[in-house]
Amino acid sequence: FFSALACAKAAIQRCDRFIMEQLQNAIAESKSHPSTRTTRPIVTGASVLAIKYKDGVMVMSDTLASYGSMARYKSVQRICKVNETTLIGASGEYSDFQYLKDLVEELTDEEFDEDDGASMSPKEIHSYLSRVMYNRRSKIDPLYNFVCVAGFKEGKSYLGALDYFGSTFEEDVFTSGYGMYIALPLIRKDWSADMDEKSAVALLEKCMTVLFYRDCRTINKYNIAKVTASGVEISKPYSLKTEWSYKRFQNPHIIE
């Protein structure tokens, strides 16, 4: 009995030593290598706006990627085409968005290789990206993005959103960044499900103009995209007309 007890104690001690050695090795390795995950956003994009309208879904964003508070990269496209029925747009860390773009490009390449005529629907892409975001969040290594998935398939518009927690929802309108505070009330006031393309463009441009006045992390250079029954179209960058002669702009302390 006593010899068996001694053997058990010796086994436990060897196990404890092994665990301590593994822990010390892990600590030493972590100190010898730099962190390889994003610990906080560095190069970031600001607001993305999206709305459903009569013929499909429209998405708009500026082309700025800020390095901290510096307007560093001024010709960055934060809207990308996934396939003929879907596009995605994102605010937040731009390198994380590039990673997401690489993932969806791999999906479309696999579909092309299959050559069976099938393609992922907007809802399927939305679901796939939500699992990616939740998986990274569960590893305490999130992708710091707020993403919209816009699509049009089989006569139906689709607009979904997901954040870096992996939370998802579907909605008729989408805003991210500072747009959640400034643009969303404006969209809710003027949006209607049966608005035509011209009205949808005017509404998004109005919101982006207000954001340009109020958000110090944006510039007057934009991409606007739409997904309809005809497919996905993304415009070249363009600027909006602005007005700076308002009395309150010239003298914020004026009393009328």
Contact assessment for residue 90 and residue 48, using Cβ atoms and an 8 Å cutoff: yes
Distance CA 222, CA 206 (A): 12
What are the start-end ranges of the H helices in 61-158? 94-114, 122-138
Angle in degrees, CA 70, 44, 163, rounded to 5: 155
Contact assessment for residue 33 and residue 43, using Cβ atoms and an 8 Å cutoff: no
Question: CB neighbours (10 Å) of residue 219?
Answer: 16
The secondary structure element, H or E, covering residue 25 is: helix 2-32
Which of 38, 108, 209, 228 does the annotation list as catalytic?
A: 38
First-to-last alpha carbon distance for the chain, in angstroms, is: 96
Q: Reply yes or no on whether 44 is catalytic.
A: no
Distance CA 195, CA 153 (A): 19
Query: What are the residue numbers of the active site?
Result: 38
